[in-house]
Structure 1
């Protein structure tokens, strides 16, 4: 096995993105102290939903292991809020989101605009906008549309592109960035 996924993203490349963010993620003693105590490598995701009012701020991965209960919470949080449909979110997407967030050096949680979309929701959105793909990765639980009030679309997109983990779309007119774990590519302006 080469360690390369079908998306072209290697585990080493993704871990490299996390390693590159370690310096900015641990500039204070309180953050660094966990590493000094043998806390090891962690991954954290912070999001809120303007649609449901829900928030999550959790460590979902510690020292090479995903935390099952945290992953279940992420899956539920990123559900299709229109249908309440829940799907397992591809953790490569969550890793890209977390790594990009670290590169941005912000404390603000992402605003999740869209995570998983049921085929019904995707078809409805597609009927209203030509920017919605017929076979959207949202329907596979492999994409998220995100916003930060303290960072521009370009700043967010550059951070996600630096992760070299999947697709990154800039939607400047709607003020959000699409991140997915599909083929490495970028679009929009």
Structure 2
């Protein structure tokens, strides 16, 4: 599936803001006080949207692994793409997985091992586009270089079947976790709703929002979205499993 992205264009709002101040000056009016401006930022939805806008980050194109003879070359130039992951048990990894248009095989191997099935330790090969999506989400929420807390990554069929049988999770029969294309994540200091919105803005796969547990599911499968609130009250529960 080709990756697509959308970015928030702030130029129109900024231009209108500048024009508004120009009108004030032309009419001989004074600019509002700091407290008044603060109130207007909270009050005006368009200005409030600017105040909470995402960093203008876009998905990189799908990388290549240039081959010379029988060996994969490692690039020395280009933008470095870094990811930092942490498991709840304390295990952490910090790796540059891509440089320019080239994924680094050794780094991908390390990420594959880190994101292994936590129930039976089975390791598989992740779709590297998943790493690009996660890297871009972190940039969009202003946490480039921050740590992603991983709740679930790869799941073997055996593990996924066991989770479904337990009835304690939202595991889907054909989960993208089985395909090694999904990560359930939290980021310290970033509300799950903000992570969800950043991921949705990429239009690059599935995005699941779990408000009760405060985490977000991100994958590179078909574009779709859902909210899972098993004990929600006062509104209809929305559920679509991933």
User: TM-score, normalized by length of structure 2?
Assistant: 0.62
Q: Which residue of 1 aligns with 2:95?
A: 58
Instruction: Provide the residue aligned with 1:26 in structure 2.
Output: none
The alignment yields a C-alpha RMSD, in angstroms, of 2.3
* 1:168 partner SS: strand
Shift of 1:94: 1.2
Matching residue within 38, 56, 59 for 1:20: 56
Structure 1 residue runs without a partner (length 5+) = 23-37
Match of residue 119, structure 1, among 149, 157, 169: 157
More helix by share: 1
Give the C-alpha shift of residue 39 in structure 1: 4.9
- What number of residue pairs does the alignment pair up? 163
**Corresponding residue to 1:167 among 206, 210, 222:** 206
Moved over 3 A (4+): none
| Secondary structure of 1:21 counterpart | coil
Q: 2:135 aligns with which of 98, 107, 120?
A: 98
Aligned to 1:108: 146
Pick 1 or 2: higher relative contact order, CA cutoff 8 A, min separation 6.
1
CA distance in 2, matches of 1:124, 1:132: 9
For residue 146 of structure 1, what is the aligned residue in structure 2? 185
Given that 2:153 and 2:184 are in contact with CA atoms closer than 8 Å, whether structure 1 keeps it comes out as yes
Larger Rg belongs to: 2
**TM-score (ref. length: structure 1):** 0.79
**Gaps in structure 2 of 5+ consecutive residues:** 9-54, 59-75, 229-242
Alignment correspondent of 1:68: 105
